[in-house]
Amino acid sequence: MKLNELTIQQAYDGLKAGDFTSVALTQACLDRIQKRNKTLNAFISVCGESALREAKEADAMIAAGKQQPLTGIPFAVKDAICTKDVRSTGAGKILDTYVPPFDATVVARIRAQGAVLIGKNNCDTFGHGASNENSMYGPVSNPHDETKVAGGSSGGSAAAVADHQCLFSIAEDTGGSIRFPAALCGIVGLRPSYGRNSRYGIMPMASSLDTVGPMAKTVGDIALLAEIMAGQDPKDLTTVPDSVPAYRDKLKMDVSDLTVGVPKEYFEVDAMDAETKAMVESKIAALEDAGATIVPVSLPHTKYAIPTYYIIVPSEDSSNMGRLDGMRYGVQEQGNSLKEVYANSREHGFPAEVKRRIMIGTYALSSGYYDAYYRKAQKVRTLIMQDFQKVFAEVDVLITPTAPYPAWDIGEKVHDPLAMYLADMLVGPAALAGIPGLSVPVGTTKAGLPIGLQIMAPRLAEMQLFQVGHAIESLQ
Amino acid sequence: MKVSVQEVENIAELAHLSLTAEETKQYAEQLSVILEYISMLNEVDTEGVEETCQVTGLMNVTREDEVAACDPEMREKLIAAFPDKVGNLLKVRGVFQTY
C-alpha cells in the first residue's frame, strides 16, 4: 500500500512505529497531487514548500515522544476556510489575492497537533452549488470517472480524499456541501450539529445553517476529527457549551439495541435511482439481520425543504455576500464612483450562481416581500424541525440515501439552476433542522460510481452517527 | 410568478451588481422559474406556527466590550491586504461625491 493511501489511524501507527516519516508521507501526497491535479482540479493552491517544512517539524515532535493523533498527517482545507499565510479565495476571483493573517478556529485546533497543511481545495464559489461546476477556478472531476462531477460544494475536498491526495480535508456544509460530494466520491463526510463547531474563519453563506466538518476515508477517522474540532469558541457565540464526548472510544455498539427509522419520503422522490435505492435498502436489511429494529416513519414536510432552503439561504447569503465589495481586502476594480467600484468589483469577482443567489435573496428580503418569503420559510422550517423531533421520540437514527442518484456528466445540469438545487433534496432537511448527518460509502453502481448512505441523529447525538456508521462499515 | 427585466434591474441595483443585458434577461427567466417553484410553500398551513430564526436554543450570549490589543504582525498583514491605502489608512471613494 502506498503511503498516501493510508487512513489517519494507519498513518499514526506507522509514524509511531518509525516505519516511515511525515516527510515521506507528505511527499507521497504532493506527488499524487502533482500527477492528478491537471485532471481532477481538486486543489486551487498547493503549499509544497511549507508542507515539507511542517512535516520535518512533525518528525522532530514524534522523535521527541510528543506525537498526537494528527502529528505529521497531511491534510487539506476547503478554500472557503481561512488558513494563516496561505491564500484563501473561496473559489471567488474577488478574493483571488486574499491571504488571511489567521487560521479558522477548527484549522488552528488541527494544526496545534502538528498536522501538515498541504493545500487548499477547490469548491463551488463561496459554497454555492451541488456539483462543483460553479467554481471560478474550473470544475472538479470525479476520481471514479473523470467525465462526471465530484458533487458540491466541497467537491475538491471529496475528490482529493478519494484520490488519496491528502488523508483528510476540512470543509463546510450549509445544505449538504460535505455529505453530498462525499457520497458522489465514495468517502465519509460529517455535517456536525449546528453550534457544535466554531465557524470563526469560515467564509459565511447562510449564517443560520453554516457548519464546518471533516471528510475522510473511514468513520473512525471522522470520529477522531470531530472530537478535535468540536467545542465552544469565544469567537463564535453560536457554539454550544455542551461537553464533547470521546467519540472514538465508544465506536463499537450492540446493534440489537438500535432502532432505525426509515423515512418513506426519502425513498419515494421522483428522481430516485433504482440502484441507489436498492443498495441502501440492502444495508438496512443487513442491520435488521444483525439485530437492529427497523421502523418505517414519515417526515411529511420533506418536500418543502428545498423551497424553504432556497428562500432562507439566498436571503442570508445576499446579506453575507454584501461584505465582499473589494474595499478592505481582495480584488478591487476601478470605477468612477464608490457605487461603480462596488458593482464592477462584484461583477468581475462573482460567478453567475453567486449573483443569482444574491438576486433571489435581495428580492425575497425587499420591501413588501419579506412576509411572503422569508417569514413564511422560517415557519415551514419549524414544521420540518418538528417532523424530526416527533420521529426521534421513537427511533435512535434515520437512514436514507445521501444523494438521489450517483454522479452525473459534467455540464449536464449547468443551465438549469432548479435541477441543481433539487440534487440536495435528501441532505437539505437535516441542515434546516440543525441536526447532524453522516454520509458513508456503501458500494458502487454497475457503472462503478459510488453510492452514499446518510445517517441522521438528534441534535448533538453525533456519537450515534459514528456508532451506526461504524456498524455499517463493519457489515461490508 | 413572473419577474420582469425591470424588476431584475432594480434588484441588481439594490444588490450592487452591474449586469449585462444578456445576464439581466437570463436572470429574469431563471428567477421566474425559481420563484414559481418556491411558491409551493403557499400550500403549507402555517397558521399559528412560530418562526425558526436559530436552532441552538442559546439566548443573549454576550461578552464584555473590552478593547483588545492587535498583534503587530497581524496588523501589518491586514494593512498590507488593503486594495488601496494612504499610509496605514484604508483609502476608499467618497460616499457622497464622484471624483
- How confident is the prediction along chain A (476 residues), in pLDDT tens digits per residue? 899 999 999 999 999 999 999 999 999 999 999 999 999 999 999 999 999 999 999 999 999 999 999 999 999 999 999 999 999 999 999 999 999 999 999 999 999 999 999 999 999 999 999 999 999 999 999 999 999 999 999 999 999 999 999 999 999 999 999 999 999 999 999 999 999 999 999 999 999 999 999 999 999 999 999 999 999 999 999 999 999 999 999 999 999 999 999 999 999 999 999 999 999 999 999 999 999 999 999 999 999 999 999 999 999 999 999 999 999 999 999 998 899 999 999 999 999 999 999 999 999 998 888 999 999 999 999 999 999 999 999 999 999 999 999 999 999 999 898 889 999 999 999 999 999 999 999 999 999 999 999 999 999 999 999 999 999 999 86
Residue A410 Cα, gap to closest chain B Cα (Å): 20
Q: In sequence order, what DSSP letters do the residues of A103-132 get, joined into one string?
A: --HHHHHHHTTT-EEEEEE--SGGG--SSS
Has residue A455 been placed in a domain? no
The answer to the question of residue A450 being in a domain is no
Please check whether residue B81 touches A, CB under 8 A.
Answer: yes
> Which residues of chain A have a CB within 8 Å of the CB of B15?
318, 322, 358-359, 362
Which residues of chain B fall short of a pLDDT of 70?
97-99
**Cβ contacts of A84 on chain B, cutoff 8 Å:** none
- Give the pairing of strands B89-90 and B85-86: antiparallel
Locate the chain A residue with the closest alpha carbon to B32. A360
Q: Are strands A74-78 and A43-46 parallel, antiparallel or unpaired?
A: unpaired
Q: Is A385 in Cβ contact with B92 (below 8 Å)?
A: no
A177 is catalytic: yes
User: CATH number for the domain including A190?
Assistant: 3.90.1300.10
Residue type at A377? Answer: A
Measured between beta carbons, which residues in chain B are less than 8 angstroms from residue A375? 51
Sorted by where each begins, the domain ranges of chain B are 5-42
Best mutation target among A98, A336, A363 (most B Cβ atoms within 10 Å) is: A363
Is position A15 within any domain? yes
B46 with A238: Cβ contact below 8 A: no
Helix or strand run (H / E) with residue A222 = helix A219-229
Of A350, A352, A434, the CB nearest to B55: A434
Distance CA A167, CA B6 (A): 50
Residue A78 annotated among the catalytic residues of the structure:
yes
Task: Answer yes or no: do B82 and A318 touch at CB < 8 A.
Answer: no
Q: Count CB atoms within 10 A of the CB of residue A69.
A: 17
Q: Which residue of B has its CA nearest to A317?
A: B15
User: Does residue A432 belong to any structural domain of this protein?
Assistant: no
Catalytic residue, from A153, A154, A193, A439: name it: A153
Asked, for residue A419, whether it belongs to a domain, the answer is: no
Q: Which fold has domain B5-42?
A: Histone, subunit A (1.10.20)
Residue B8 has its nearest CB partner, among A238, A344, A359, at: A359
Q: Exactly one of A78, A148, A277, A413 is catalytic; which is it?
A: A78
Beta carbons of A379 and B50 less than 8 angstroms apart: yes
What is the chain A residue with the closest CA to B23?
A: A352
| Distance in Å, alpha carbon of A375 to nearest chain B alpha carbon | 7
Domain count for chain A, please give it. Answer: 1
> Residue A50 sits in which domain range?
3-250
Which residues in chain B are closer than 8 Å to A354, comparing Cβ atoms?
none
Q: Is the peptide bond before A154 cis (omega within 30 degrees of 0)?
A: no
Catalytic position from the list A45, A157, A177, A193: A177
Q: Of the candidates A98, A311, A344, which has its C-beta nearest B38's C-beta?
A: A311
Tell how far CA A138 is from the center of its chain.
Answer: 19
Is A61 among the domain residues? yes
Strand partners, A399: A455
Distance from CA of B69 to the nearest CA of A (A): 15
Q: What share of chain A is helix, strand, coil (3-state, %, to 5)?
A: 45, 15, 40
Contact B11 A307 (CB under 8 A): no
Kindly state whether B47 is in contact with chain A, defined as any CB-CB distance less than 8 angstroms. no
Burial pattern A428-441, b for ≥16 Cβ within 10 A else e, equals bbbbbbbbbbbbbb
A261 within some domain: no
**A66 has catalytic annotation:** no
Cell numbers placing A468: 451506526
C-alpha cell recorded at residue A475: 457489515
Which is nearest to B5 in space by CA: B23, B28, B30?
B28
Put simply, the answer to whether B30 touches A356 (Cβ < 8 Å) is: yes
CB-CB: which of A322, A338, A362 is closest to B11? A362
Inspect the interface and report whether the beta carbons of A346 and B11 lie closer than 8 Å. no
Element (H, E) at A359: helix A352-365
- Is residue A75 a part of any domain in this protein? yes
pLDDT, position B98: 52
Is A53 strand, coil or helix? Answer: helix
Amino acid at A385: M
Task: Give pLDDT, residue A367.
Answer: 83
